[in-house]
A and B are shown apart, each in its own frame.
Chain A
Amino acid sequence: MHELAVTAIGADRPGIVAAVARVLHERGGNLEDSAMTILGGHFAIVLLVATEDGPEELREALTTATAELGLTISVSTADSERRAADPTHLLSVYGADKPGIVAGVTSALAEVGANIVDLETQVIGADTDPVYAMAIELETDAPAEVTAAVERACAELGVDHMLRAIAAETY
């Protein structure tokens, strides 16, 4: 067995996860890790599967079995060493919606070597006054540098933020 990375995305409707998971199961694959969610009107699946199939073989099988769902599917080898994600900080960034918020903030994080474990964005607020909100779980052993870098980036972008240690979030 080896691990393959599978992505599948398509217009949202009931049965997408079932269709993909059924194929993996029927071919003796084991779903190791996954993230699946609605993005706008699309449903997106990213997963790791332990399988005997080769990438092309699995892609064929998935594409054929899910043809009526019209999913865009990719399969590739995923041999990287597995490691536990252990986020140390949660960063909440929000402000008036404008281009460049994600690029600006994540570039600042990359410059100080902070590793993003999880990131999610959403447009919220009133229709007339859209607010862009992003939540990032990150790993760092240099919180002071991250604090300074994030402050600088957010000031430049004109957005608000809150960075807090995850372990400290207890009463």
Chain B
Amino acid sequence: MAVREVVTYPARVLKGLTGPVGEIGPRERALAEDLVDTMYDSPGCVGLAAPQLGVPSRAFALDVSVMKKPPEGNHGLVVLFDPELVLATGSELAREGCMSVPDYTCDVRRATDVVVRGTTPAGETRVIEATGFEARAFQHELDHLEGLLVLDRVAARSDVFPRKRRAAKGQHLK
């Protein structure tokens, strides 16, 4: 249980693939705690994936309820291992930031509604239906597990480089 340093690009762990976690043991639960502790310790952070702690494993923590205006119907703290995107519908362009690409935001097109399935730290399968900003956060975290950053998700050149240097408070996805 510890707040760990968040890895920033160009660290290679952020661009690599991640390995499946499988069985949840003490090591996995410790990783889950580190993800949660580090996420809550980082101002404006609503999600953190294992590669951002330098761990190439398929795991992330997410909590959009900490936002200034928490999205309605959000699921609070979610920690998932081996998460999968089961369904994604809708499409919306919105601003995202990433703790691993500091002081940078860009517009990213994401699905507005998703269904995500994964394993909780207790070893149970959990299926979550998320919408809006929470759905966006899930997709951002899932991208980290594929070595994808917001820079890979740019939809058009005009979306890439807004001149604003910092995301609004609470808009950092990880």
Contact = CB atoms under 8 A, between A and B. Distances in A.
Q: Do A and B bind each other?
A: yes
Interface stretch (A18-26, A56-64, A74-82, A127-135): A127-135
Given A92-B160, A160-B15, A162-B151, A124 B103 contact: yes
Given A90-B157, A92-B160, A171 B89 contact: yes
B10 A92 contact: no
Interface in B149-170: 151-157, 160-161, 163
Contacts of B9: 94, 125, 129, 131
A126 interface: yes
Given A90-B154, A95-B10, A125 B89 contact: no
B157 A135 contact: yes
Interface in A155-171: 160, 162, 166, 169-171
Given A96-B10, A125-B103, A170 B151 contact: no
Contact of B109 (A92, A129, A171): A171
A129 B100 CA distance: 11
A3 interface: no
A129 B161 contact: no
Interface in A84-132: 87, 90, 92, 94-96, 118, 120, 122, 124-126, 129, 131
A166 B103 contact: no
B86 to A, nearest CB: 15
Chain A residues touching B, range = 20 to 34
A78 B155 CA distance: 32
Interface in A39-81: none
B90 interface: yes
Contacts of A136: 157
Contact of B152 (A92, A118, A125): A92
B160 A171 contact: no
A129 B15 CA distance: 16
A96 B9 CA distance: 8
A79 to B, nearest CB: 27
A36 interface: no
Q: Which 7 A-B pairs have the closest CB atoms?
A: A171-B91, A162-B152, A135-B160, A124-B104, A96-B10, A137-B157, A126-B102
Given A92-B152, A92-B160, A135-B160, 6 more contacts: A38-B163, A90-B155, A133-B160, A133-B161, A166-B156, A171-B91
Interface of A: 38, 87, 90, 92, 94-96, 118, 120, 122, 124-126, 129, 131, 133, 135-137, 160, 162, 166, 169-171
